[in-house]
Structure 1
Amino acid sequence: MTLLIGLLLDAVLGEPRWLWSRAPHPAVLMGRAVGWIDARFNIGKHRKRAGTLAFAGMCLCALLIGLVLTAIPGNWIDVIVLAVLLAQRSLVDHVRAVATALRAGLPQGRAAVAMIVGRDTAALSAPATARAAIESAAENLSDGVIAPAFWFAVAGLPGLLVYKITNTADSMIGYRTPRHQDFGWTAARFDDLLNWIPARLTALLIWVLRPSRARLSAIMAEAPLHRSPNAGWPESAMAHVLGVALSGPRVYHGTTRDYPFVNPQGRHRIGPTDIDAACRVLWLAWGVGVFAVVIATLF
């Protein structure tokens, strides 16, 4: 029941500006902690060992905080923390903002999508801008909603907080750059591990919306070709449900990466209406997940 209430509260309230303009969001605090650890310990010759120890310390702190919060009588603190750390409403809002901006013009669309993706956006075409938004929608449905809910269901607040600090660390230091390929190695690998099941659950939640169009065999064949061991699953499912091609070549830090397309036979000329369709898929998949939680709660 706690998980169900948390999912519903997040969907209704999202991230209230009146609150987070006055107090730092827990995710922001986690990001500051990761940034401080990166600046303080990502030095010297033994960066992989330093990164492993620093990351283990972060996870231990998250675990202890979770245990302390769990010891508070009642489940109200669980509901509040869960609702705050889920991101369904904010995800849809950010993705939909790209569609709105893209309708106003390509520069506006590029600026909006730059808020939610890590690739270079200055030279994106209109279809590439829409594709980036839809890919972010699919991946973040897994990372920002399904995975936190899954780990809360498995291990309560300790599991949720360990997952969130891991995902935050991966998003900041988990890149294969000269600075972070060693220091962030453990965080990135642990994030891959924690997202293995949720990514596939997310693909399943998307697939059941249109199984006649999104063949499960095609999703299972294409997902492992993705650059990420997990992101390919929700992206492939989203691509097939919408009938569009996703992933493909993109530019990071001035370097073009020639990644293969997911659902390459799908439409390549996509735009704001396809982003709107992706937002509908986000809510429908969320609804299927909520229904599954209700069934699990009853039985």
Structure 2
Amino acid sequence: MSLVLALLLDAIFGEPRALWDRWAHPAVLMGRAVAWADERFNEGGNRRWKGVLALGLLVVAAMLLGWALAALPGSLAEVIVGAILLAQRSLADHVQAVARALRLSLPEGRRTVAMIVGRDTASMDEPAVARAAVESAAENFSDGVVAPAFWFAVAGLPGLLIYKLVNTADSMIGHRTPRYEQFGWAAARLDDGLNLIPARLSAALIWLTRPRAAWGPIIRDARLHRSPNAGWPEAAMARVLDVALSGPRSYHGTMQDLPWVHPQGRKAIGAAEVHASVRVLWQAWAILLLLALLLVAF
């Protein structure tokens, strides 16, 4: 029941700005812990094993904190922490903001989408801005909503905190750069493992909003993605909206010729398709809520 209440609480209140202007968000605290481990351990030789050790220490700390919070009387702590670490409302709001900005002007669309994606946005045309927003909606539905809910359901607060810690570590140090290729190896591999089931579940939830879309091509397109997991919700969103996603884009001034996901879909897209992706997010969330209620019932 804690998961159901957490999902509802997050959907209603999202991220109260007044609260997080006063206090550090738990995700920020996790980021500080990862930054400490990076500064403390990421030097000298044997960096891969140092990364394994650092991540292990952080995971144990997250697990112990989860156990301590879960041991508090009642389930209020579980519900509140769960709601804080789910991100459905904030995700929908951020993606919707891109659609509103695009309706104002292309520069506003670029500025707004830059807040939620890591690619270069300065030279994007309107379809590229829209694609970036839709892709972010799909991928973050998996990382920010379904995966936390899944691990909360499987392992309670310890599972939820461990997942969020590992996901934060992956976003900070799980990169193939000279500094992090070895030290961040454990974070990247563990994040891939923890997202294996949630990514495919996310794709199924998105697909169920428009089940007339063929499932077979979603599987095929998901395997074209550079990530073993992110391609699943992205491929499902592409088929549900009948739009082409991914494709060439620029990172740090370098153009990458990535394959299209659902290349037969519409490429000339804009604010309307971004709005549509937000509707799909809420419909998929409703199905997730129904699944959580069924878990409680049975």
- TM-score normalised per structure 1: 0.98
Distance in 2, matches of 1:172 and 1:29, equals 13
Distance in 2, matches of 1:254 and 1:40, equals 31
* 1:93 aligned partner, one-letter code: D
* 2:154 counterpart of 1:154: yes
- TM-score normalised per structure 2: 0.98
2:15 corresponding residue in structure 1:
15
Q: Which residues in structure 2 correspond to 1:112-191 (within 5 Å)?
A: 112-191=112-191
2:294 corresponding residue in structure 1:
295
1:246 corresponding residue in structure 2:
245
Shift of residue 170 of structure 1? Answer: 0.6
* Cα distance per residue 1:132-180 (max 9 Å; x no partner): 0100000000000000000000000000000000000011111111211
Shift of residue 110 of structure 1? Answer: 1.1
* Cα distance per residue 1:23-60 (max 9 Å; x no partner): 01101111111122222322122221111111111111
2:26 corresponding residue in structure 1:
26
Distance in 2, matches of 1:177 and 1:109, equals 30
* 2:97 counterpart of 1:97: yes
1:267 corresponding residue in structure 2:
266
Q: Which moved more, 1:217-226 or 1:247-256?
A: 247-256
Gaps of 5+ in 2: none
Identity %: 63
Distance in 1, matches of 2:286 and 2:147, equals 15
Q: Which moved more, 1:117-126 or 1:21-30?
A: 117-126
1:256 corresponding residue in structure 2:
255
Aligned-CA RMSD value: 0.9
* 1:59 aligned partner, one-letter code: V
Runs of 4+ in structure 1 off by over 3 angstroms are none
Distance in 1, matches of 2:53 and 2:256, equals 31
2:196 corresponding residue in structure 1:
196
Distance in 2, matches of 1:111 and 1:226, equals 26
Q: Which residues in structure 2 correspond to 1:216-255 (within 5 Å)?
A: 216-255=215-254
Shift of residue 209 of structure 1? Answer: 1.3
* 2:281 counterpart of 1:278: no
Shift of residue 250 of structure 1? Answer: 1.2
Distance in 2, matches of 1:70 and 1:209, equals 34
How many residue pairs match? The answer is: 298
Shift of residue 253 of structure 1? Answer: 1.5
Shift of residue 185 of structure 1? Answer: 0.8
Shift of residue 296 of structure 1? Answer: 1.9
Q: Which moved more, 1:149-158 or 1:101-110?
A: 101-110
* Cα distance per residue 1:57-106 (max 9 Å; x no partner): 11111011011111111111000000000000000001111111111211
Q: Which moved more, 1:245-254 or 1:79-88?
A: 245-254
SS of 1:180's partner is coil
SS of 1:256's partner is strand
* Cα distance per residue 1:162-220 (max 9 Å; x no partner): 000000001111111121111111100100000000000000001111121x2100001
* 2:80 aligned partner, one-letter code: I
SS of 1:124's partner is coil
Shift of residue 120 of structure 1? Answer: 1.4
* 2:68 counterpart of 1:68: yes
Q: Which moved more, 1:154-163 or 1:289-298?
A: 289-298
Distance in 1, matches of 2:163 and 2:110, equals 30
